[in-house]
Amino acid sequence: MWGAHQGRAARSRKAIWLTGPDTPSRRPASINAGMMALACAALLTGCVRLVPEASGPRPAVPIPPPVTSASTAAFAGVVRGPSVGQLRISQRDAGTALASFIESCPQLLRREDKSGLSYNADWRASCEAAYQWPMSDAPRFFQTHFETARIGDGQAFATGYFEPEIAGSRTPRPGYVPVYAMPSDLKRGWPRSTPQSERSGRAPLGRQLANGDFVPYYERAEIEDGALDGRVPVIAYAADPVEFFFLQIQGSGRLRTPEGEVIRIGYAGQNGRGYTGIGGVMRERGLLGNGPGQYSGSMQGIMAYIRDNPREGRALMRENKSWIFFRELKGDGPLGALGVPVRREASVAADPAFVPLGAPVWLDLDRNEADGLWIAQDTGGAIKGANRFDTFWGAGDDARRIAGGMSGRGTALLFLPKGTVARLNSQDNSSRR
């Protein structure tokens, strides 16, 4: 579970308000943050995933519409929140967040902030201090360098994602399905039927035929039926087509071979076809719920339906025409949209139009395991709007269980370098004169 840059957005702002004194947080909270490796994202309602620009899919719970129609945080409204000290961040929580913040700093100092909230230079002091700061005193780092802000009304909704591990092989085996690398014939172009007046922005993905016609790229059913056999590099083979389908939704994962080798794969690209959340399809058909013959809306429930109904399940998966291509990853772990490894219980996906990627985020939800300090290091196709987040839970059975059922509501605070809210307020007041 990757993102494009945009010009600095401090040029025009509206609805940036600075309000009174610090107010106490609703309740102290923390997460038991460990530092493991990442992946991407969401399952059923319509998501995508890790690594910049294109993403790969996401959550198995219905996703509500964005809480604001504003295009960026600067237009949604920014209000000063409680002091960082009032949040009572635990040592373990702060230590994990500080380690991830340090990894994010090179990008914070280089990328343009699409949210319109900060400049690269705003983060320099905190990043320089972070490299030297003792982990044993991590809570004080955040108290010293940051203030909190609410974006819009601050009402948050969070789902979860994880890094799946499934059985695989380096070589073909009966019943195994190929894990394709990026095809060389997957390109951007305009179909001849598209009028010149409509050829604006990025051209769609597709392929060019021998006669010069540009057509959509192969969809899931065509690829499963062998359209790419012998024409596209294969990284490895997955033992279970159903498990591999959900790995594609997450956007990254690990393949464990019979010999014990672990092959880590990450999002490389997508076929250009629209993503269809099969959980949403199942809900429309009355297959999800608590009644007789219905299934849970979690990832586990959706997978159970597919296994109980192989023929219908295969057809259901094919309704999602999107196909994810992978690359083999070496080193620490899968990379998020920021280009750094995402960490268990430390990394969160957010909409870069509302959260500067690399910034700390405080969540206080009705799902206590997701409470605490996170670092925004990833994006997702369904992670859109203010205060919409996707929490990363690492790999393993517990990660799969927590992420598959994560649906938390509550409040969110964004950590910004001290002085940022006052500056935004001053700029807004100046623009009104």
| Domains of the chain, earliest start first | 73-161+333-432 (2.40.40.10), 164-328 (2.40.240.50)
Q: Which amino acid is at 131?
A: Y
User: Which contiguous run of DSSP H or E holds residue 325?
Assistant: strand 324-328
Instruction: Round to whole Å and give the CA distance between 388 and 157.
Output: 5
pLDDT at 128: 98
Extended strands (E) in 170-223:
177-180, 187-188, 205-208, 214-215
Mean pLDDT, residues 408-424 taken together:
95
Average model confidence (pLDDT) for the chain?
A: 84
Q: What is the pTM of this model?
A: 0.70
Mean pLDDT of 52-77: 55
Given pLDDT bands bounded at 50, 70 and 90, which one contains residue 97? very high
Average pLDDT over residues 331-351: 89
Sheet containing 214-215, strands listed edge to edge, beginning at the edge strand earlier in sequence: 187-188, 205-208, 214-215
- Strand bridging mode 262-270 / 252-256: antiparallel
Q: In the block, which residue shows the tokens 């609410």?
A: 150
Residue 141's Cβ-count burial label (10 Å; 0-12, 13-18, 19+) is buried
Beta strand extents in 193-288 (DSSP E only): 205-208, 214-215, 234-238, 252-256, 262-270
Q: What is the pLDDT of residue 271?
A: 96
What value does the mean pLDDT take over residues 47-70? Answer: 41
Separation CA 371–CA 357 (nearest Å): 19
| CA distances for 421 relative to 77, 148, 197, 320, 413, angstroms | 11, 9, 42, 43, 13
pLDDT at 51: 27
- pLDDT category of residue 432 using cuts at 50, 70 and 90: low
Task: Tokens 């269809």: give the residue.
Answer: 276
CA pair distance 273, 227, nearest whole angstrom: 15
- CA–CA gap between residue 248 and residue 239 (Å, rounded): 14
14, pLDDT greater than 60: no
**Six-digit token string for 409:** 């509501």
